[in-house]
Chains A and B, each alone.
Chain A
Amino acid sequence: MKRTAPTITNKQLDELLAQAHQRQWAGPDNSPEINHYLKGLTMKSQPNRLLSHSALILLGIGAIGGGSLAAAVTHTIMSRSAVLITQDGTEYNVELLETPDGASGTFVTNDGSTFDIDIVDQEVTVDVNSPQGGTSTVILDNGMTPSISTDPGQTASFKIDQSNDEKPSESDE
């Protein structure tokens, strides 16, 4: 004999729906997919600002903390890899390595152009050490500001020389 369940009432239905209404979003407050997409659009919207036309890069890491610059750099170097994204959307792998003074390094673009970099304070809008990733700003000598962004799990690299007194070895300008 077939069992027949009692028909659900309007009140029971409303109670069920009310329970579903109580469910709160516990997921992330942003989408990595959208973040990446918008980042690319932002870079593409400024196509005249190409890294390849600059000679000197200043890497800002001011948001890392209030301690000494060297300590902040060391922390960054030890804990993060990154991707440098220029405003034309080109991405460069970068790896932060420890350096005695933590103040300079060399950045090599895909076309082989080499640029010196300096680390300067108070030039960053987002902490690149954030466990969730973040964005730092690279200030070029001509005023361009491509960004360095890190996402959890990224394997990018940014190589810093052991010397901080090198001048740009070449420029494509």
Chain B
Amino acid sequence: MTQAAWNTTQPAEPAKEQLPATNCSGTTPEAFDVIYRQHFTAIAGYLYRRTGNQDLAEDIAADTFLAAWKALPRYQSTGVPIRSWLLRIATNKANAVARRDRIRRRVFGRIPVRQQTDKADDVLDWLYPALARLRPQHQSVVSLVHLEGLSIEQVARVLNLPEGTVKSRLHRARAILKHELTCQGENL
């Protein structure tokens, strides 16, 4: 198989890579395969830490890379590091799932949030239901800052938002999360 030249020294936040030679659809599948294999684990890991559910994370990661393949021709003009760009797509996909879950809960009442069955972990089983009750945009900033360890500046780049907006959302999200955790404690 012809492997397109691609920067294989993968830093956490690489500079914008030069895309390899493209075919009529924008980019060769071989080139995208390199991107996919370099970043799949990182993206799946992010989604796992955000959702707490490995199967769900795997599904969303697959959706992320399918969407990335389709959007890759447009990536060349965004000027965003590839990892940030993939995190943005993954975040949007995770937000869509979170939004559906919230609608389901609104329609069917206060049903339990998506079951976290990966491992018995009381503490995290306490955190994830509360996290899932946040608005998707709040889940995003909490996940990217606290679960991924990104700086405010990096999160702003991923979400394409001003840093001030990220800070205010994070402050608000933490307050709501504390409230949700406290309510959960009362209901135990």
Report which A residues bind B (CB closer than 8 A): 2-10, 13-14, 16-21, 23-31, 33-34, 37-38, 41-42, 45, 125, 147
Contacts and interface: CB of A to CB of B under 8 A. Distances in A.
Contacts of A5: 182, 185-186, 188
B41 A29 contact: yes
B103 to A, nearest CB: 24
A30 B147 contact: no
B154 interface: no
B160 to A, nearest CB: 24
Given A13-B178, A16-B126, A29-B41, 20 more contacts: A6-B185, A8-B182, A13-B177, A16-B127, A17-B146, A20-B52, A21-B147, A21-B149, A24-B45, A25-B41, A25-B45, A25-B48, A27-B48, A31-B40, A33-B66, A34-B66, A38-B29, A38-B36, A41-B69, A42-B33
A31 B147 contact: no
B137 interface: no
Interface of B: 1, 23, 28-30, 32-33, 36-37, 40-41, 44-45, 48-49, 52, 54, 57-58, 61-62, 65-66, 69, 123-124, 126-128, 142, 146-149, 174, 177-178, 181-182, 185-186, 188
A24 B57 CA distance: 12
A3 B186 CA distance: 6
A33 to B, nearest CB: 5
B149 A23 contact: no
Contacts of A21: 49, 146-149
Given A17-B127, A33-B62, A125-B1, A7 B52 contact: no
A13 to B, nearest CB: 6
A28 B48 contact: no
B11 to A, nearest CB: 19
Nearest to B46: A25
Contacts of A34: 36, 40, 62, 65-66
B138 to A, nearest CB: 13
A8 B185 contact: yes
